[in-house]
Amino acid sequence: MTYIRFKGMSFFKQVRTEEAARALVWKTKFEGKEFVCPNCKSEKYWEFTCEPEIRKCQGCSKHVRLRTGTMFENSKISMLNWTRAIYFTMSSKRGISALELQRRLELGSYHTALGLLKKIRHSLLQRDSKYQLSDSIELDGTSFGRAKNLNQQEVMVAIETKSWIDAKGNEKTKAGFAKVIVANETRENAEKFISKNIKPGSSINTDAAQAFIRSQVKGIDLDYREMDSKQEKINDWLPWVHRFISNAKSWIIGTHHGVRAKYLELYLAEYTYRFNRRHDPDSLFHRAISAMSQADPMTLGRLTA
């Protein structure tokens, strides 16, 4: 699928009405086409002037609703506000807080802004859960938040590393995709995390934490070294996972001023999603709309959006 890229302020010039926002989401829903009937695959459709969020298939008469089967389902928010929310979230390098989003969209309620962000993050989480890491992986555990106010959460992070040779013939590594789970660092959780997210045949570098030493997953080669606080050792054995963890922590504090434990997973999903596409930041907006258009709908509980 090719992505429409909005450079600079062009998004606000091109998508300034509900009609334009709707057209953008219709196109994203059908992966670049105006219409594809989920029933009979016909690409011909009728529109209704009074019901612009419904298209009727000319092949089999099926009514296809814009929001049905997407993360926009059951939402009362206009498509214009939805596309703007996604744009604000994905176009700013460090993301956006709910308070800032509420201000920019001029929303009456903070809970609506939180609800929008929650649905966006859920879509990103769903999208990234489709991928698995392979080959060489660094794995480590850490904790986010402060123990003293009972807000601490254990987190495991796995990240692919790729080797390459620089111009002087030295072997270097660079980071590939990352995966994160918020879960206590136990053997059971580590094994579940590894078998779900890492392809058989891969090899993992990790530290000598009990949960990792005792983990056994079929087809995965797990090698560990004792880590102390010596930077040299860490740089040699687990450089990328350590960098990822420390950058994720500053992001949570910098953009969001700390996060309640129960929301940590979703915030880290957004961080990881950005990290995984860091080499192509212009594509983030379209990839996120696409993730929302393909995501399973969710309901919000107390929040609204």
**Residues contributing to the site for Zn ion (CB under 5 A):** 37, 39-40, 42, 57, 59-60, 62
| Strands 221-225 vs 203-207: parallel, antiparallel or unpaired | parallel
* Closer by beta carbon to Zn ion, 59 or else 281: 59
Q: Least distance from C-beta 28 to Zn ion, angstroms? A: 20
Q: Least distance from C-beta 290 to Zn ion, angstroms? A: 22
Burial of 135 (0-12, 13-18, 19+ CB in 10 A): middle
Residues 15 and 89: their CA atoms lie apart, in Å, by: 16
* Closer by beta carbon to Zn ion, 60 or else 99: 60
* Closer by beta carbon to Zn ion, 66 or else 175: 66
Q: Least distance from C-beta 51 to Zn ion, angstroms? A: 17
Q: For residue 160, what are the β-bridge partners?
A: 137
Q: Least distance from C-beta 30 to Zn ion, angstroms? A: 13
54-57: strand order across its sheet: 45-47, 54-57, 63-65
Structure tokens belonging to residue 279: 């080499």
* Closer by beta carbon to Zn ion, 58 or else 173: 58
CB atoms closer than 10 angstroms to residue 126: 17
CA angle 265–158–257, rounded 5-degree value: 35
Structure tokens belonging to residue 26: 């219709």
Q: Least distance from C-beta 60 to Zn ion, angstroms? A: 3
Q: Least distance from C-beta 255 to Zn ion, angstroms? A: 44
Residues in the chain: 305
Residue written as tokens 């620089």?
166
* Closer by beta carbon to Zn ion, 42 or else 195: 42
Angle, to 10 degrees, between the axis of helix 98-105 and the axis of helix 110-128? Answer: 120
* Closer by beta carbon to Zn ion, 56 or else 243: 56
